Chain A
Amino acid sequence: MMLGAFTCYMLVVWYHWGYWAALLMAVVLIALFGALLDSTVLRRVMGQPQFAVVMLTIGLGAIFRSFASITWGSEIYTLPTPFSARATRIGGVSVSHEYLSIIAGTIVLCAVLYVFFTHTRVGVAMQAASQNQLAAYYMGIPVKLMFSLIWAISAGVAAIAGVLLAPVSLIDINLGFIGLKAFAAAVLGGFGSIPGALVGGITIGLVELFSGTYLPQGFKDVAAYVVLLLVLAVRPQGMFGAVGRKKV
């Protein structure tokens, strides 16, 4: 996410590209980077126990943040977009176009991803590869290519998210930490359920808003995390999700 936002910023401000071209290029670059990361680094840890992968991603995250602070410095930047400083009145409330772009972008992305995973051959192949790798190999699915593609898509989507978020939250190296709140939303909604994630996200947003108003100062920042811990402790499958279990 952070890298996507920074790349787009760099293209727009340093190299004076147009917004849409910069967005597209940023997505492509980060997607390629994701695929590269998978084929060089992540593939090697596939067989190892889960905590190896977790720690690997932690290490990679630290490297990216460091790289970002070296390349772009550690100040905070703003991204000029075609949506900035414009607003529409909807039902008596003035909604800034930046927020509208986020909502529209999210809906479009969700629809595209849903169609991709359920109705295209490539999408179904990816699901197969994730559910039973050996069987996927036997069916002639190029599993390694699938995984690289998955990483590319994931990175690309994250880049879009970063660019969409940039006007609202300003670009700095810790942009990615909002991912933790996104995780809280996904857990609340239930893993494996896209409508659940959306509902979870809206709920977390509301919780943050209300805790900022009614609770003492400082709770607003951590409200999402508290919700995350509560949900995990009480009902880990969230509102709509399913719990996976190893079959013996």
Chain B
Amino acid sequence: MRFVFKTSYTQDLGLFRDGVQRNCYIALLVAVLALPQVVPEYVGDISLLFIYGLCGLSLMVLAGYTGLVSLGHAAFLGIGAYTHVFLTQDLGWPWLVSAAAAAVVTAGAGVLVGLPALRMTGVYLSIATLAFALIIQEVFARWDRVTGGLKGKAVDKPVVLGISFAGAGGFYVLCLVALIAALWLTANLLRTPTGRAWVAIRDSEIAAQSMGVNLAAYKTMAFAYSAAMMGVAGALFAHKVGFLAPDIFGVLLSIQFLLMVVVGGLGSLHGALLGAVFVALLPVAISQARDAVPAWAAAMAGVLGPAAGSAVFAATDRFIKQPGLEPGIFGLILVLFILFEPLGIYGRWTKLKLYFSMFPLYKRATFKRQKSYMRSERLR
């Protein structure tokens, strides 16, 4: 069990707990940079994972740290994507300027959504964001001149400052740089008054107000910052996907982002990234399962005889190849995690580390939730 001595305020303030942790992260960075050499066929998928990481980070800031659950976050991704493509391709703006402008426009949309948020909390806010997302999807479909409507819009390869990032390796580095920058900026915010104000809003609005936090201003700031990050993610997403259509940015994608945040662990940066990994791997796992599970079930049933085996195979095969199954699986995982693992993967990892560091004195009740009784007060 290692004990870290805190010797100065600067050390407590830093991003890393001590030199050892910093070196671990540097090693991780080196490994990630080396990945394209080791597994070149997965480079495109990992770039998508970085983009998902950006999205997870964005929703984590809003839902995990400020407590404002957005059910329509995919709409922001779409706004960022369409804005960026329109500005670079149709208007010929330079890439960096266009990406920045996409962030700004998306932030503006975030502020627009935030306005109802100032008066309502909890479920009402989430429904407002869902309504907003549906409106935006309709706008994508109707605004032909900018978005190409239902026909969709093809996206060229990115060219930043004259250098073409069309290659998979170059794009990989571009996404990685964006992700690391976003992580650094967000970590900065979280150790300063702004981040603390956000957490205060999540935990007790009245106390936050009595400490001088202007609720309206900070909620709007949270929406704007989160949306701006989605704007940049949208720009990268557009290049990755290559072809934009309105129904990409629907409710299913928003649910996937929610899944990311919940599975990863609400309220931690690690959680956003772990969740992104989980959600990026999930479709792969499902499609593998589609092939593997019927065979496996048939093998189990084959114990009873070859007829039973083939019958079971046919049944599970038909069940698992259904197209409507995927959202159901997402929903199921979301529900299971909320019920049994509310702190997410990162929470489980923290508990695990605590177990080993405190062995054999670990108490299961360390993370036990307090039972709380519900009250609703009406004030006319």
Which residues of A approach B to under 8 Å, CB–CB?
A: 41, 44-56, 58-70, 74, 130-134, 137, 173, 180, 183-184, 187, 192, 216-218, 221-222, 225-226, 228-229, 232-233, 236, 242-248
- B342 cross-chain contacts in A, Cβ below 8 A: 48, 52
30 contacts between A and B (CB under 8 A): A49-B202, A50-B123, A52-B342, A54-B123, A55-B338, A56-B339, A58-B334, A59-B333, A62-B255, A62-B327, A62-B331, A63-B328, A65-B324, A65-B327, A68-B324, A70-B328, A74-B324, A131-B375, A131-B377, A131-B378, A133-B373, A180-B134, A183-B127, A184-B131, A218-B142, A225-B134, A232-B119, A232-B124, A242-B379, A245-B377
- B202 cross-chain contacts in A, Cβ below 8 A: 49
Inter-chain CA distance A183–B335, complex, in Å, is 23
- B300 cross-chain contacts in A, Cβ below 8 A: none
Inter-chain CA distance A66–B27, complex, in Å, is 42
Contact of B131 among A51, A69, A225, A244 (CB under 8 A): A225
**In the complex, what's the smallest C-beta–C-beta distance from B18 to chain A, in angstroms?**
32
Report B255-280 residues with CB < 8 Å from chain A CB: 255, 258, 262, 266
**In the complex, what's the smallest C-beta–C-beta distance from B341 to chain A, in angstroms?**
12
Q: Given A180-B130, A232-B116, A244-B378, is A47 in contact with B371 using a C-beta cutoff of 8 Å?
A: yes
Q: Given A62-B330, A233-B119, is A51 in contact with B378 using a C-beta cutoff of 8 Å?
A: no
Contact of A66 among B119, B324, B380 (CB under 8 A): B324
Inter-chain CA distance A180–B133, complex, in Å, is 12
Contact of B338 among A59, A137, A228 (CB under 8 A): A59
Inter-chain CA distance A16–B54, complex, in Å, is 53
By the criterion CB–CB under 8 Å, are B338 and A66 in contact? no
By the criterion CB–CB under 8 Å, are B319 and A134 in contact? no
Q: Which residue of B lies closest to A245 (CB)?
A: B379
Q: How many of chain B's residues touch chain A, expressed as a range?
A: 35 or more
Inter-chain CA distance A212–B119, complex, in Å, is 30
Contact of B327 among A54, A66, A233 (CB under 8 A): A66
By the criterion CB–CB under 8 Å, are B380 and A229 in contact? no
**In the complex, what's the smallest C-beta–C-beta distance from B365 to chain A, in angstroms?**
16
The 10 closest A-B pairs by CB, nearest first: A66-B328, A62-B331, A69-B324, A59-B334, A232-B116, A225-B131, A50-B122, A63-B331, A236-B119, A59-B335
B67 close to A (CB within 8 Å) = yes
Which residues of B approach A to under 8 Å, CB–CB?
A: 63, 67, 69, 71, 113, 115-116, 119-124, 126-128, 130-132, 134-135, 138, 141-142, 202, 206, 255, 258, 262, 266, 319, 322-335, 338-339, 342, 369-380
By the criterion CB–CB under 8 Å, are B379 and A58 in contact? no
**In the complex, what's the smallest C-beta–C-beta distance from B113 to chain A, in angstroms?**
8
By the criterion CB–CB under 8 Å, are B258 and A58 in contact? yes
By the criterion CB–CB under 8 Å, are A242 and B138 in contact? no
Inter-chain CA distance A186–B222, complex, in Å, is 28
Q: 9 additional contacts, CB 8 Å, given A130-B374, A229-B132, A244-B377? A: A56-B339, A58-B71, A221-B138, A225-B131, A228-B127, A232-B120, A232-B124, A244-B376, A244-B379
**In the complex, what's the smallest C-beta–C-beta distance from B108 to chain A, in angstroms?**
15
**In the complex, what's the smallest C-beta–C-beta distance from B329 to chain A, in angstroms?**
7
By the criterion CB–CB under 8 Å, are A246 and B377 in contact? yes
Inter-chain CA distance A74–B322, complex, in Å, is 10
Q: Which residue of A lies closest to B329 (CB)?
A: A66
Inter-chain CA distance A184–B132, complex, in Å, is 12
**In the complex, what's the smallest C-beta–C-beta distance from B23 to chain A, in angstroms?**
36
- A216 cross-chain contacts in B, Cβ below 8 A: 142
By the criterion CB–CB under 8 Å, are B379 and A134 in contact? no
By the criterion CB–CB under 8 Å, are A74 and B131 in contact? no
By the criterion CB–CB under 8 Å, are A50 and B121 in contact? yes
- B142 cross-chain contacts in A, Cβ below 8 A: 216-218
**In the complex, what's the smallest C-beta–C-beta distance from B59 to chain A, in angstroms?**
11
Q: Which residue of A lies closest to B380 (CB)?
A: A242
Instruction: Identify which of A49, A130, A232 gathers the most chain B CB atoms within 10 Å of its CB.
Output: A232
- B330 cross-chain contacts in A, Cβ below 8 A: 59, 62
By the criterion CB–CB under 8 Å, are B377 and A247 in contact? yes
Q: Which residue of A lies closest to B122 (CB)?
A: A50
**In the complex, what's the smallest C-beta–C-beta distance from B227 to chain A, in angstroms?**
15
